[in-house]
């Protein structure tokens, strides 16, 4: 799925962050055993930077708190029911959790009860995947009872113990498996894959905001095309609206793939056309851009398929999907705008691109003109990716868009106007030039002036615009 992982055969103690070591030392000075666990250990073995540190310890949470406070470390009781406190060293949080085993998960998300234990290996046995079930200490070294280091080297995501049991405990682990595979560029081990596919429908019982958080990780990894193609059951369980795209024959001379495969290719395409610097909103837009097609499908008398109005329907569907997943509005609005306008006819001309930018601006809710220009560049990358995911004869459009790119760059360099707020006149100028009183008509005249500026009929100059308005009464 990706390049070979960059593996270390051990972790250099010099890599351990000082804020994490301070917590470890405070606990051990007080007579308790403590280890780094989880993601920091995994990433350190891969030679990758890790930002968060988690510590597990033999100490009960009350004893952890006392030991940390005695060492002058700030402590917050963030999850004492599960044995967790959060230490803060130099502004950096470190979760400190007592060794534990979990009881039943009747809500498919949280253990009904926990039992505190004295052996770190028992704690590691409750964790989700082998690559996350390792502990490390700068003196005692690595504890790896489930072969996580070997799975890191092999590029595999494997459940700890019985995969079906792991996913039945916490259905969100289905998406976590895919997220880790995407983030690390790994494959999913066979038994784990079978179990997560079978458990995927249980995502329906998980809070949608939690699903949304995992989906953001998958989309943000840049490997969501792999996830949609190879983990389709999971992705459809997370976003059911994707399901109708699977196997949907477009019956069109412009398309040689079904809607799902076309979407996967477009998603992979934006990673290429954006030069490796791809925004989260562009990645989401690529995944959702044709989500409305199945709902719009019609067949003409010749048997050819059409999708009239699919950007409009797709935008409405995308808005519902993103709201359901609790995606922040400031991210969702530009995504929906890209979906809505990705198929809008456009010429490589000043007036045509300004008109599209004005619509993109209005729909996206972005504040700064520069942000709208950046979103317009993303629109062109989405269109390029869409083109190369079609039939062979349509792919030349991706090259044609270079002309649109040149126009856009000239517009940006010239500080072109596509907002009423960018006009060189005010409402007061309109009232004086046209002899009208305050009211809706002022806004209408400003919009008419903007339309004229964008069409190239008048320069965005105060005197020129006042004359233009005066001539029209």
What is the rounded CA–CA span in Å between residue 59 and residue 67? 9
Per-residue pLDDT at 78 exceeds 60? yes
Whole-number percent of the chain with pLDDT over 90: 90
Q: What is the mean pLDDT of the chain?
A: 94
Per-residue pLDDT at 473 exceeds 90? no
Per-residue pLDDT at 378 exceeds 90? yes
Q: At CA 51, angle to CA 46 and CA 53, rounded to 5?
A: 90
Burial 436-456 (b: 16+ CB within 10 A, else e): eeeeeebeebbeebbebbbee
The average pLDDT across 374-393 equals 97
pLDDT category, 275, cuts 50, 70, 90?
confident
The average pLDDT across 390-408 equals 96
The average pLDDT across 294-306 equals 96
The average pLDDT across 141-145 equals 96
DSSP result, 51-94: --EEEEESS-HHHHHHHHHHTT-EEEEEEGGGTEEEEEETTEEE
| pLDDT tens column, 305-328 | 999 999 999 999 999 999 999 999
pLDDT category, 158, cuts 50, 70, 90?
very high
**Whole-number pLDDT of residue 182:** 97
Q: What helix, strand, coil percent values describe the chain, rounded to 5?
A: 55, 10, 35
Alpha helices in 83-142 (DSSP H): 120-124
Per-residue pLDDT at 3 exceeds 60? no
What is the rounded CA–CA span in Å between residue 289 and residue 232? 17
At residue 44, the 3 state secondary structure works out as: helix
The average pLDDT across 380-401 equals 96
Which regions of 237-351 does DSSP assign to beta strands (E)? 298-299, 305-306
Least confident of 106-110, 356-360, 423-427: 106-110
Least Cα distance to 248 among 257, 237, 240 occurs for: 257
The average pLDDT across 412-440 equals 93
What is the rounded CA–CA span in Å between residue 391 and residue 386? 10
Q: Domains for the chain: give ranges and CATH numbers.
A: 13-151 (3.30.460.10), 155-234 (1.10.110.30), 239-413 (1.10.3210), 420-471 (1.10.246)
Q: At CA 450, angle to CA 448 and CA 453, rounded to 5?
A: 115
What is the rounded CA–CA span in Å between residue 468 and residue 423? 13
Dihedral sign for Cα atoms in the order 120, 124, 130, 135:
negative
The average pLDDT across 200-205 equals 96
pLDDT category, 349, cuts 50, 70, 90?
very high
State both tokens at 235: 């992705």
What is the rounded CA–CA span in Å between residue 361 and residue 354? 10
């Amino acid at each position: 799925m990706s390049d070979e992982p960059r593996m270390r055969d051990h972790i250099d103690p010099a890599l351990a962050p000082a804020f994490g070591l301070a917590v470890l030392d405070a606990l051990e000075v007080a007579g308790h055993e403590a280890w780094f666990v989880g993601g920091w250990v995994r990433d350190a073995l891969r030679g990758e930077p890790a930002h968060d540190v988690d510590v597990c310890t033999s100490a009960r949470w009350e004893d952890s708190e006392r030991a940390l406070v005695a060492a002058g470390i700030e402590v917050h009781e963030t999850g004492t029911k599960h044995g967790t406190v959060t230490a803060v060293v130099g502004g950096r949080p470190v979760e400190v959790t007592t060794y534990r085993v979990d009881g039943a998960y009747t809500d498919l998300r949280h253990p009904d009860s926990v039992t505190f234990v004295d052996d770190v290996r028992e704690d590691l046995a409750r964790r989700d995947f082998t690559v996350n079930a390792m502990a490390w200490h700068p003196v005692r070294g690595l504890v790896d009872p489930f072969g996580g280091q070997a799975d890191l080297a092999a590029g595999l995501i494997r459940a700890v113990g019985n995969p079906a049991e792991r996913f039945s405990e916490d259905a969100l682990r289905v998406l976590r498996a895919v997220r880790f595979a995407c983030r690390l560029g790994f494959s999913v081990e066979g038994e784990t894959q079978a179990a997560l596919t079978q458990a995927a429908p249980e995502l329906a019982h998980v809070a949608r905001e939690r699903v949304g958080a995992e989906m953001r990780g998958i989309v943000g990894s840049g490997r969501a095309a792999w996830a949609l193609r190879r983990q389709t059951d999971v992705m459809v369980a997370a976003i059911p609206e994707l399901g109708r795209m699977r196997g949907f024959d477009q019956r069109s001379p412009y398309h040689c793939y079904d809607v799902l495969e076309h979407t996967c290719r477009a998603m992979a395409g934006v990673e290429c056309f954006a030069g490796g610097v791809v925004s989260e909103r562009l990645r989401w837009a690529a995944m959702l851009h044709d989500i409305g097609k199945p709902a719009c499908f019609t067949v003409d008398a010749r048997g050819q398929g059409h999708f009239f109005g699919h950007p409009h329907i797709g935008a409405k569907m995308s808005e519902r999907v993103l709201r359901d997943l609790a995606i922040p509005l400031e991210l969702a609005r530009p995504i929906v705008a890209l979906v809505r306008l990705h198929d809008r006819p456009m010429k490589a001309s000043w007036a045509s691109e300004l008109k599209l930018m004005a619509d993109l601006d209005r729909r996206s809710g972005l504040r700064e003109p520069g942000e709208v220009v950046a979103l317009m560049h993303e629109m062109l990358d989405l269109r390029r990716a869409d083109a190369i995911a079609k039939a062979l004869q349509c792919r030349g459009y991706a090259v044609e868009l270079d002309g649109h790119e040149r126009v856009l760059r000239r517009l940006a360099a010239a500080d072109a106007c596509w907002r009423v707020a960018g006009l060189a006149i005010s409402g007061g100028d309109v009232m004086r030039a046209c002899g009208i009183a305050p009211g809706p008509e002022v806004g209408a005249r400003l919009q008419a002036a903007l339309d004229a500026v964008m069409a190239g009929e008048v320069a965005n100059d105060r005197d020129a615009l006042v004359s233009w308005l005066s001539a029209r009464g």
